[in-house]
Structure 1
Amino acid sequence: MLDTKRVTQFEEYVIQSMDEQCAPGLTVAIAKGNKVIYTKAFGYRSKEREITATTETIFGIASITKTITGIAVAQLVEQGLLSFSDPVIKYLPDFRLPGGGGEDVTIHHFLTHTSSMPPLPALGISIRGNTVPDKLVPDKKEITEPAKEQKEEPPVNTYSELIDYIASHECDLLGKTGEYFSYSNDAYALLGAIVMKVSGLTYSEYVRENIFKPLKMTRSFLNFEEMREHNDVTDLYWKNEDDEMQVSTHWQVAPPYLACGWVKTCATDLIRVFQMLANGGEYKGVRLLKHESVKKNIAMNHNVSLYDSYGHGLRVKPNYHGVTLVEHGGALKGVSSNGGFVPEKGLSAVVLCNLSAVPVAKVWLAAINLGLGLPIDTPKVVYETSEWAQVDRDRFTGPYKSGEGAEFDIVIEEGELWIKYKKDHCVIKRLNDITGLFVLKGQEMEIRFNLDDTGKSWGVGIGVRIIPRA
């Protein structure tokens, strides 16, 4: 049982976090072993219609879908139908990296975001080509509306078109295969194609039959038509360029990207995925994975930050007050999500929110802290910063831009190193010779400078992506 006083502190923390972000609705579930020990819905699934959220309200989970894809691939490995070391071209013979090559890219590289592909525009193109635009007030740009200066875009509506787009896209690779970690929605999208090729089922069918059904996840979907047959589905909220709240019922659609971010579910369903993983692959007598496969999925393969690494569809931080934090987050229009577990304690938690760009990872950590008996606001990391030497700062300055739309400048002003986005300007403090820290909208963000042979930065790692110098 959770202590009543600490539960009250947690709920006050959640409400304060929602108020700070103006988040309409949020749901939480916490479990210990096979038992759910806490569930609660906060706020609204439709604020305009004054319909409150419930713990069965269906939200998007965006990139937590990658955890589910990691499970699917691990199941197929257990069945002997593929191997993590298999080259991607064994199953997708037309796959090529931008500029050619890619024969050495394996399924493991896709799972660990180490294929060498930089962030590409393909996902945005697929969303724009398949999502119903929302009607906004005049002169306000909708998230699915292409920029006026944008040239005609090739379609990215199928796996084949995505493979063609990657092969023909003009960009520099980040390095050798396996050398750098940089988050790739495109890689996970193609893992869905591999699941289909190997299993003989569509990705949606495979996940439904081999993950949702065994876990009795009856309110979990990849098919929009199936989801629309159910009630208690959230509206979608996001803020426009002027920080004005927008609402929609038009979910983003990108057909070849199901495996990277398109599961819709509720907190009481999703918690079962992480209960299963926390229990070493078993949920209430039903085994989905061998314990060794779970260990493989949470193995620390490549550093994401100074303090955590990435496995197969899961992010791993060791040494958190004597335990390991395993988690994944997600973000799309009207989606902010985080879920994960503590393997040593059999503790799991999920947080789902219907507003974009909400730092729900903090709420998830607060839920884990509640379960661990730690102070609710215990941070994941306590950073110690210092000042940059002039010679270090000069190596980093310049413009940076990614294919997914991230764009900023690193500059020196008033004796400080700054990162300047279109609207947000943040001071970067030093953590070590090539890593800094800045605070954006209340979130601490590491920034890692990748240096060329001359000692100058050719790209920076922010969050989970490497953004190349423009």
Structure 2
Amino acid sequence: MRRCVQLDGFDEHLDYLRNGDYELFAEPGDYFSYCNDTFLLLGAIIEKVSGQSYRTYVTEKLLKPLGLTRSTYDVDHLERFDNVSIPYVYNKEKNHQEAVAWPKLGNYEVGGGIRSTAVDLITYSRLYTDPSFRKARFPIRERVLKSMWRPLIEVNDFSSYGYALQVVSNYEGKTLVGHGGSQPGVSSYFGFIPEEDTVIVVLLNCSDAPADDLWRAIANVALDLPLEQSMIEETEYTMIDEEKKRLLGVYYVREGNTEAHITEESDRLAITMDGRKLSLRAENATTLVIEETGKPLTFYLSEDGIAWGVRVGLRMFLRK
């Protein structure tokens, strides 16, 4: 779905979801693809049940009780804070970073519109790691809280998605829980390792930065693992030409109007996305791995054997 920040209120957004120009690529429940437009339905439900605006409800019920004094939905509120970072967006034509204003996200703030700090997010993390803090500040049942990262939908061979958090259930015997986010001028990843009571926060004031890769590297250090260890055990698989041809092409996702180009040059596969060209290796006939980051690309084939889609991160890209 195309991102429509200009929509005013959830009623307009519900109309957009109901009547928008889009088509289903599969039956509900067949595949998973993260979508901010449908995620914000939760905000509409909160407003309907509580009788308050989404902003007001979350601020009064969560931010204030937890003592998150430098966390806000209101961009204008940032002017009252000191020591506020400046967002930067990379200008491809001029080949340098440019300062931009903090963006107003409209309804999309439901899917991650809080402007916060590493210190506040560490405090927030105590909901998951400190039972006494949770009982005093936000008395939610542990069973309900853990459902946020209990595996519900398989994302790829090693990770799943729960109710709003992604989980790697067995990373060298440990559990990695977290979620990333981005907006113009911001890249972020928040997560924790339950068995170690370890919380890691990565906040970067620039777009398209590898916050999740930095997070994983820090997690490796915390677990006494090699810095560049990947979540995928490297295996040797040599693709034949016919298998490669099934995957080559241009794939797109409407949200953000992003394209992923899968190409071959000198018998080497590569992906070009967001102006970056990265090398790929084959894990099997339908999975390629970005060599620089260890991230998998899972392809889905139609009956004729040609890939109709590829999962990049949490989103399904469709063949163009």
Fold conserved (TM > 0.5)? yes
Instruction: Identify the residue that residue 389 of structure 1 maps to in structure 2.
Output: 240
Instruction: Specify every segment of 5 or more residues in structure 1 that has no aligned partner in the other structure, as ranges.
Output: 1-119, 130-155
Q: Tell me which residue corresponds to 1:292.
A: 143
How many angstroms apart in 1 are the aligned matches of 2:59 and 2:275? Answer: 42
Asked if the contact 1:275/1:346 (under 8 Å) is kept, the reply is: no
Kept in 2, the 8 Å contact 1:430–1:437? The answer is yes
Question: Contact (CA 8 Å) 1:337, 1:361: kept in 2 or not?
Answer: yes
- Name the SS for the 1:444 alignment partner: coil
1:199 matches 2:80:
no
Aligned to 2:253: 402
Q: CA deviation at 1:280?
A: 5.7
Tell me, what secondary structure is at the counterpart of 2:28?
coil
Secondary structure of the 2:147 match is: helix
The reply on whether 1:322 has 2:203 as its aligned counterpart is: no
Cα deviation, residue 284, structure 1: 6.9
Change (3 A) 1:182 1:158: same
Give the alignment partner of residue 358 of structure 1, picking from 185, 192, 209: 209
Give me the whole-angstrom Cα distance separating, in 2, the residues matched to 1:445 and 1:290.
34
Deviation of 1:295 after TM superposition, in Å, equals: 2.0
1:419 aligns with 2:249: no
- Tell me the equivalent position of 1:167: 18
Q: Is the 8 A contact 1:300 1:309 kept in 2?
A: yes
Q: Which residue in the other structure is 1:283 paired with?
A: 134
Structure 1: distance between partners of 2:106 and 2:159: 31
1:176-224 superposed Cα distances (whole Å, 9 cap, x missing partner): 1111111111112221111111111211111111111221111111122
Q: Is the aligned partner of 1:253 residue 2:104?
A: yes
Aligned length: 318
1:377 CA drift (Å): 5.0
The reply to whether residue 157 of structure 1 matches residue 157 of structure 2 is no
What displacement does 1:462 show?
A: 1.0
The corresponding residue for 1:455 is 305
What is residue 223 of structure 1 aligned with on the other side? 74
Q: Which has the higher contact order (CA 8 A, sep 6+)?
A: 1
Q: Deviations over 1:392-448 (max 9, x none)?
A: 222223332221211233344433444344744444321122111124xx4333211
Specify the SS of the correspondent of 2:85.
Answer: coil
Pick aligned residue for 1:313 from 164, 169, 188? 164
One-letter identity of the residue aligned with 1:268: V
After alignment, is 295-304 or 412-421 more displaced? 412-421
- CA displacement 1:210-256 (0-9 Å, x = unmatched): 111221111111122333222221111121113311012x1111211
Structure 1 stretches of 4+ with a deviation exceeding 6 A read none
User: What's the offset of the Cα at 1:354?
Assistant: 0.9
Is the Cα contact below 8 Å between 2:180 and 2:188 reproduced in 1? Answer: yes
Q: Tell me which of 295, 304, 317 is aligned to 1:445.
A: 295
Q: Deviations over 1:28-84 (max 9, x none)?
A: xxxxxxxxxxxxxxxxxxxxxxxxxxxxxxxxxxxxxxxxxxxxxxxxxxxxxxxxx
Paired with 1:321 and 1:422, the residues of 2 have a C-alpha distance of: 32
Q: Which residue pairs with 1:58 in the alignment? A: none
Deviations 1:368-407 (A, max 9, x none): 3444444555444443342212222222233322212112
Moved more, 281-290 or 297-306: 281-290
Partner of 1:341: 192
Could you tell me whether the CA contact under 8 Å between 1:353 and 1:360 is conserved in 2?
A: yes
Matched with 1:435 is 287
Unpaired runs of 5+ residues, structure 2, are none
Which sits farther off after the overlay, 290-299 or 423-432? 423-432
Q: Secondary structure at the match of 1:167?
A: helix
- Cα pair distance change 1:282/1:294, threshold 3 Å: farther
Aligned-pair identity (%):
31
Cα distance in 2 between the residues matched to 1:384 and 1:315: 24
Say if 1:420 and 1:358 are closer, same or farther in 2 by CA, change over 3 A. Answer: closer
Distance, in Å, in 2 between the alignment partners of 1:425 and 1:292 is 43
Three-state SS of the structure 1 residue aligned to 2:294 is strand
TM-score (norm 1): 0.63
Tell me the amino acid that sits aligned with residue 326 of structure 1: V
Whether contact under 8 Å (1:272, 1:283) holds in the other structure is no
Code of the aligned partner of 1:327: G
- Is residue 215–residue 272 contact of structure 1 (8 Å, CA) maintained in 2? yes
Q: Is the 8 A contact 2:66 2:138 kept in 1?
A: no
Aligned partner of residue 265 in structure 1, secondary structure:
coil
Q: Which has the larger radius of gyration?
A: 1
Match of 1:273 in 2: 124
Length-normalised TM-score, structure 2: 0.90
